[in-house]
Amino acid sequence: MSQHPSDTVFQQWHDNQALVEQMIPMIGSLYRHNNVVTTLYGRSQFNRSVIRILKDHRFVRKVEGTELSVEDTYPLVKAMTELNLGPAHVDIGKLGVAFKKQGGGDAVAFLREELAEIVDAHDPDAGNGEPKDVVLYGFGRIGRILARVLVEKAGGGNLLRLRAIVVRGRGDIAKDLEKRASLLRRDSVHGPFDGTISVDAEARTITANGNVIQVIYADAPTDVDYTEYGIDNAVVVDNTGIWRDEAGLGQHLQCKGVAKALLTAPGKGDIKNIVYGINDGDLSDEDRIISAASCTTNAIVPVLKVLNDEFGVEHGHVETVHSYTNDQNLIDNYHKGDRRGRSAPLNMVLTETGAAKAVAKALPEFDGKLTGNAIRVPTPNVSMAILNLRLEKETDAAALNDYLRGMSLNSPFQKQIDFVDSSEVVSTDFVGNRHAGIVDAKATIANGKNAVLYVWYDNEFGYSCQVIRLLQHMSNVSFLKLPRAKA
């Protein structure tokens, strides 16, 4: 009896699942023992589910126009485990496409050429390097997501080690710790924590996936001596937004054990506002107080940068459709800001945004070119920036999208710019997206020198990933990325 075509497809799916199940421990071993992070077109494959890895392979067809199967990447991952590789980020997706285009063959020989810089470069005696202490000052929406990402990335060659969080005292410490641990464990937007969390009330610690995190209670930055907890040369990430100038944030630097302070909000005065991937080259070792700018600035600056490089931008307007935040009221009540006193879940609220002006802090060539406004809408997460631009060169939607697709896949901005080409996506589809912004190709409008672009962004998770990248840069944690782009 002949096999029905649907049975063949089903069997192939199961075969691919089995291959991924074999790949996962290899990917883990490369990460743990060799400090090799495997990615697939920028999407990390470490600590991912079988289905997630299969979906990432499916994604390649959309971006490269060719199907990439686990059958194509499995021999490469297996070969990588045999080559005594040194530390690097290795894109098995790009390697898989190149290997397939050459007709396959000897995977080991292929990788010896493509990964020549790290073959036989593993030094088991060198260790992973000296871990960098990180302290989260404040444990709200951004603080807890940063904690999740830092815990997820712990180990291997990441070197960032979450040592403590600082919060204000709330009376019953044991109950306070349980509540904070519960908020880390369960999240209405981002789902459950991927792992285990326990609390030691006596030691005042939260342990997440083996990471022991000290909980420090203080009413002001200067109340803390971090060296009492074995913390030294730390970067304090201030998530409170209470202090945004050098005088306020400088309080952190007065504490023993603190080397630098990073603000997760736009900085004021002479504080450098850094969008990672764009102007992080402006930083020096002498910069001790740094701002990671805003979520909206991080979302739009990379797209504006690449557009300006290729087409030139004469001027434009940025309209942000932003999810409501804790700054707003659940029901109508007094608020010092215009309109923000009205109920956030019931209203669209027109308000101001400094993102348009903030662009010039990362890209000086945009000084005076952009205006901006914002509308807060009744969704808890994921926002959109609408870029209405006048370009110097004429183009059309197809050419504009082709260019942005290329920038999202094969440029230094691969981690900042994502690209989606579907007529069915909505905001919740981008919850957890790790890019700074996602270009929605189906919404692109371009006619001559006029262009309108729609850029989605997870204003919590995507922004937090940008903060982590900046934190790595500040801590001199860097990665060799292979394969290198062909000249």
SS (HEC) of the chain: CCCCHHHHHHHHHHHHHHHHHHHHHHHHHHHHHHCEEEEECCEECCCCCHHHHHHHHHHHHHHHCCCCCHHHHHHHHHHHCCCCCCCEEEEHHHHHHHHHHCCCCCHHHHHHHHCCCCCCCCCCCCCCCCCEEEEEECCCHHHHHHHHHHHHHCCCCCCEEEEEEEECCCCCHHHHHHHHHHHHHCCCCCCCCCCCEEEECCCCEEEECCEEEEEEECCCHHHCCHHHHCCCCEEEEECCCCCCCHHHHHHHHCCCCEEEEEECCCCCCCCEECCCCCCHHHCCCCCCEEECCCHHHHHHHHHHHHHHHHCCEEEEEEEEEEECCCCCCCCCCCCCCCCCCCCCCCCCEEECCCHHHHHHHHCHHHCCCEEEEEEEECCCCCEEEEEEEEEEEEEEHHHHHHHHHHHHHCCCCCCCEEEECCCCCCHHHHCCCCCCEEEEHHHCEEEEEEEEEEEEECCCHHHHHHHHHHHHHHCCCCCCEECCCCC
Token couple for 101: 């285009």
Element (H, E) at 28: helix 5-34
Token couple for 227: 């060296």
Which is the catalytic residue, given 261, 295, 362, 438?
295
- Whether 465 is a known active-site residue: answer no
Residues serving a catalytic function are 295
